Amino acid sequence: MISPIVVSAADAGKFAKHMGFFVYEDGAFLGGAIAAAEKRRLWEASKESGFKAVIGECTEIPEMAQGGRRIVLVGLGKKKEVCAETLRRAGAALYRHAKGRWEKLLISAPIASAAPIFEGFMLASYEFTEYKKPEAARLSSAGFLAADAREMAGLRKILDRSSAVCQAVAFARDLVNRGASDKTPEKMGEIASTLAGPRVKVDVFGREKAAELGMGSFLSVARGSDDEPAFVRLVYKPAGRVKKRIGLVGKGITFDSGGLSLKPPASMETMKMDMAGAAAVLAVFRALPALGPRLEVHGFCPFTYNLPGPRATKPGDVVKAMNGKTIEILNTDAEGRLVLADALCLAAQEKLDAVIDMATLTGAAVTALGSKVSAVMAGDKILLERLLRASRESGEMMWELPLVKEYRELLKSDVADLRNIGRVRGEAGTIIGGLFLKEFSGDAPWAHLDIAGPAWSDKASSYFSQGGTGAPVRTILRYLESL
């Protein structure tokens, strides 16, 4: 992944001769460290190639008198419609245009637009290379042009923040993209332990400690696998006064076969991504020391496989969660809510100011909202509005689904306090999942993010590569920074 640097005007010529500018469809430039007459000349030259400056469109203008320098213009569309997400897409388009052409590129954009352009550029440069050679890409470095010393200092601050966020997203993507056999629950515990440092403490425990704590729901999922489960707890503490204490809970099913309620083979092909919620939690903790929010943040990640082994939980079994509630398991493929139940109980014991869980929980969320939008359900309107605002700012789309009280009846069991699926199959599956989790969330403000769609991309586009996307890392970090 490329991390752009800040380049002064005096050093621009030494750094790179090729430059990228951003332009609206009316020919106006987004800032740009060149004279107005030069902008007009470049715009007129671009029109000769049919350039319309639609969002993400790129055109290249050769400057032979300048030693073969190339100017790239990137379209932004209509000025009145441009937002941060437009700029991210434009930054990604510039990277994809330049990556196979040159070794270095200089980027000209005003400081107010630098963060989203940088995010799009950097995220588009991500590539998962654990199992193969990287694609041929000549571009090795990029620089943002600063007009003066004051702008240079401001750009460095912005890019430092954006770099920490993008590196965290890349970390989450790497974890999701890794093969399921290479991320056993114990291995995920080891990876989590590498995040420990002066501000972050990490504790990992296994089956025995989980049993002592009464995590019957979590352990019921782990029964089908020979690999030991691992429960990861993380705590970030700032240097100074703590403003709030926030909990983050992530589903960590490192492979989901469905258990004895076995999935069809095609449905298992991407189930290495069923730990994307926990990957996002770990990625947030990777970024927190660099961002330094005045918060105490607690992370809870239950890791296990969901496999149909000889000791696997059977439909009709009843298990008990940490808070004493009993659960009749009627579908072992509705296992994410079972591991999250005990994680939420543990979070509730901390008496936090807010708790957010994130999980690839239901296929119903993909049916309802598609692959680009996460479902969000919350028992607290203030928490909900803050999350929705953060999602708008990050470009990771979310949509509220209601926690319909009347649907709680569908979770009633004849033999236990709850059943793990609704009585009416195929009805309100995502909401039913949220209502189930609410039973274990305690008294703190709580929100549930169903990221089943956005956590994975079937093909590369804009600033996404094929595979794990890192959702909702950017939203959660934006939310934490806003408190």
- pLDDT tens digits, 49-90: 899 999 999 999 988 656 678 999 999 999 999 999 999 999
- pLDDT for position 273: 98
Q: pLDDT (tens digit, 9 = 90+) per residue, 277-335?
A: 999 999 999 999 999 999 999 999 999 999 999 999 999 999 999 999 999 999 999 99
Rounded mean pLDDT of 351-380?
Answer: 97
Residue 126 has pLDDT above 90, yes or no: yes
Q: How confident is residue 251, by pLDDT bands cut at 50, 70 and 90?
A: very high
- The correct CATH number of 171-482 out of 3.30.365.10, 3.40.630.10, 3.30.479.10, 3.30.420.40 is 3.40.630.10
- pLDDT for position 32: 66
- pLDDT for position 33: 67
**Could you give the angle at the alpha carbon of 54 between the alpha carbons of 51 and 60, nearest 5°?**
40
* Catalytic residue (one of 337, 386, 419, 438): 337
Q: How does 212-233 read in b/e, with b if 16+ C-beta sit within 10 Å?
A: ebbbbbbbbbbbbbebbbbbbb
- For residue 208, report the phi and psi dihedrals to the nearest 5 degrees: -65, -50
- pLDDT for position 64: 62
CA 247 from chain centre, in angstroms, equals: 17
Q: pLDDT (tens digit, 9 = 90+) per residue, 146-191?
A: 988 888 999 999 999 999 999 999 999 999 999 999 999 999 999 9
Portions of the chain given CATH number 3.40.630.10: 171-482
Q: Which helix (H) or strand (E) holds 97?
A: helix 84-98
Q: pLDDT (tens digit, 9 = 90+) per residue, 207-223?
A: 999 999 999 999 999 99
Q: Please list the residues that pair with 330 across neighbouring strands.
A: none
Ramachandran sector of residue 442 (left: φ over 0; alpha: ψ -120 to 50; beta: rest): left
Using alpha carbons, list the distances in angstroms from residue 410 to 341, 423, 431.
18, 5, 11
Is the domain spanning 5-147 CATH 3.40.220.10? The answer is: yes
Cα-based torsion angle of the residue sequence 109, 169, 158, 354 in order, rounded to the nearest 10 degrees: 130
* Catalytic residue (one of 69, 187, 237, 263): 263
Q: Which of 33-37, 111-115, 206-210 is least confident? A: 33-37
Token digits of residue 463: 């600033």
Portions of the chain given CATH number 3.40.220.10: 5-147
Q: How confident is residue 256, by pLDDT bands cut at 50, 70 and 90?
A: very high
Using alpha carbons, list the distances in angstroms from residue 210 to 207, 213, 227, 232, 329.
5, 5, 15, 11, 19
What is the pTM for the complete model shown?
0.97
Q: Which residue has the higher pLDDT, 336 or 13?
A: 336
- DSSP secondary-structure letter at 228? P
Q: What is the mean pLDDT of the chain?
A: 95
Token digits of residue 164: 């920490």
**Could you give the angle at the alpha carbon of 12 between the alpha carbons of 139 and 291, nearest 5°?**
70
Residue 136 has pLDDT above 90, yes or no: no
> Using an 8 Å Cβ cutoff, are 59 and 111 in contact?
no
Whether residue 386 lies in the annotated active site: no
- pLDDT for position 426: 87
Rounded mean pLDDT of 2-12?
Answer: 90
Residue 387 has pLDDT above 70, yes or no: yes
CA atoms of 77 and 343, how far apart (whole Å): 45
Residue 433 has pLDDT above 80, yes or no: yes
Contacts of 429 by beta carbon, 8 Å cutoff, 6+ apart: 362, 363, 364, 365, 422
Whether residue 337 lies in the annotated active site: yes
- pLDDT for position 65: 59
